[in-house]
Amino acid sequence: MIRCKAPLRIGLAGGGTDVSPYADEYGGAILNATINLYAYATIEPLSTGEVIFESIDRKEKASYSSLKEIAIDGHLDLLKGVFQFIQSNHDTPLSCHLTTFVDAPAGSGLGTSSTLVVAILGAFKEWLNLPWGEYDIAKIAFDIERKQLKMAGGRQDQYAATFGGFNFMEFYAEEKVIVNPLRIKASIIDELQNNLVLYYTGTSRLSAAIIEAQQQNVVAKSVSSIDAMHNLKAQAIRMKEALLQGSLKEIGEILDYGWQNKKQMAASITNPLIDEIYEAALKAGANGGKISGAGGGGFMIFYCPNNSRYKVIEALKEFGGDIRRYEFTEAGVRSWTSK
């Protein structure tokens, strides 16, 4: 068995500025951090000539006896897309049973799709001894999702899952990405983790539709949308400085600043339920928060200073979602062989 896991991420600042055409025209900046929720991939080599795809969490399975039968048809497309890429660069037909599992629901805002692609690529790298570095894996994952499968989205998730840890990322034209790992004191990370509540609203969303609306606003030169993205890029720089300097008292304010601007990027980023949850958290003692990911649903984070996290958690229970315990992680994608 060849196995791999890659961590999901929380977006802390700058979300959306990694998406083209904004990143290409103006340059983007994001700060994110990986957590101990993962996407897993297992490859069992076969000698039958079959190719079997199985998603345990989505309860989907398909098997094929010929490579020509494997079509991108809305069913297990991420698994198929990675396999097609690998097979197109491999001289002989591959036969295997590829199994995946993700610790969070699809469309929940933690980068599940991109992280799953990274995990599958990591498993194939382990199996076939492919000469890829971290930037290679992240770029290939981006190309598979955005170009081969034509799924709308940004660039941060692939790099977060591959590198792991706290990273300040810069995005430029021609798909250039620079990952700057941050050396943050352990005590600062512990306090941030204690004060940052991760809440799942119980709803998922199609991030592609939200991202496409955001892209259209940039193409149309919407002043409010573009200004909001400029402010989010500045927010990422402020967040980086606050974490490196240990100024945690500023985190809530920085998150709230980002959230108020993010809502200007596209109309579907928020809705009455999300607004109600956000206000309830603030009333209970949080001083800032945001949607993790494109918006519209999924996970939210709230910064709860002093000892307010418990009151905030109680307030959030009224909305029927779930508080998710987590820890920040340093490692990115990891693969191994079980003999």
By annotation, the residues acting in catalysis are: 157
Element (H, E) at 109: none
> In the beta sheet, which residues pair with residue 302?
197, 289
CA distances from 117 to 38, 61, 333 (A): 12, 17, 11
Q: Is the dihedral of CA 238, 9, 182, 156 positive or negative?
A: negative
Looking only at the bridges linking them, the beta strands covering 96-102 and 51-55 are parallel
Task: Name which of 208, 227, 207 is nearest 217 in CA terms.
Answer: 227
Paired tokens of 78: 């991420």
CA 175 remoteness from chain centre: 17
- Contact predicate 113/151, CB 8 Å: yes
Q: What's the CA gap between 246 and 289, in Å, rounded?
A: 18
